[in-house]
Structure 1
């Protein structure tokens, strides 16, 4: 695992969010064998958030904006409206670990936020415990909102549903457009390799002409088998984008798609940059989640 700056803890991906997931799209994902967390959260900016949790790796936050005016007034510095987001957690979760990153990345204009936990009993404490965020006014990844998260103790108890009928076990990679600059996130991770690895999540870039509105094209999920998703992708050159056959589930324009595979090779086993995305789409099983999502 890569080490952080100034001797502070390593970083791992904590959560990945995307916008445009209305009730119809969430129902379609349930029909594809995903189980949502029972709890639904409401974030600042009228963001209704549903969660997909997994046995391994980060959770996915699927957001529907219910009041566009309220959301517009919320958007913080460094965030492009409706862009996807990636929370990077310091390994031990300690807020003190954010200090070194704040000093070392002054060129990205860092600033802090604190959000108290919703638990009423915890809120009665003299200093309300909560989440500590280190945001950056200059984006770590252009077209994506990347921030650091630390936690006060004790943390709220969360009931997660990590067993999915489709056999998906966790997030294994994030796929970006080939032109995406990942040097700043590599710096945050404390290494020189680009694209970097963040804990067990590998960042890869792809070339092709089917780029979306934002550079984060897909979240790659690892499953026990692809059988549940229908017809098997052909084992030819086009399906070796990540070293394995891939099933693609399209979502909506502002968000990322879901690419499901039986695993990808680690950095020592294969390239981190790939080409030929145009050739991949026709040879992958592609399930279109219905509905345009919120118009953005």
Structure 2
């Protein structure tokens, strides 16, 4: 196809071979420039081409007296924006050549017809590279499947181990909390601290509220509190609440007796628990 012709200057033609351009297949774009070698000079490096989104695979040129033929190997594969069943307009080809008499650089612009990429794969090919749109080209299936195996191994083996250690840690933390609740020494120490508070003129109602909280913590932490101990603690808890909300202020002696009763019940319950 002659796209630009001037007998006094240059003649440029373009051709695409083969005419059927299949996806992932290479084809040749030929630029044939003819000129008077006595008047003009044309070099391959003075020609600007841009075939995007097609990929330029290779380029070769052949120059004789008054003729320059350049062959561009193109392919629609590597660029993710190059898809099948679509025509791609090609940018104008710019040819810069020199007038030998005046040494002036002249410019010639060549318009190129759009190139259509067939949605089918060349039926004559048995082995061809394939790239899905917006997906990487998998060059080595062995690496791909090895990655799948590694991911599967991590999901099957490593993840259960991680869950095991998480559950073990949670169980240990729950056990530590339970030991904190059921440790007689810690509860008795808290009761002794309340006695010190009471001796330092702390508010009796505040001490009663703290005693109520200690009994609640103890009953919540112990799963199997003996019936007698649990009954005694429930009775003491109700008495504490009643004293805390009575009209007149409870005396320090009354509160001290309740502290002693609670301590006795906890000591008795711990002895039964150890037995």
TM-score (norm 2): 0.20
Query: Higher Cα Rg: structure 1 or 2?
Result: 2
Greater helix fraction, Structure 1 or Structure 2: 2
In the superposition, the TM-score normalised over structure 1's length comes to 0.19
- Larger relative contact order, structure 1 or 2 (CA cutoff 8 Å, min sep 6): 1
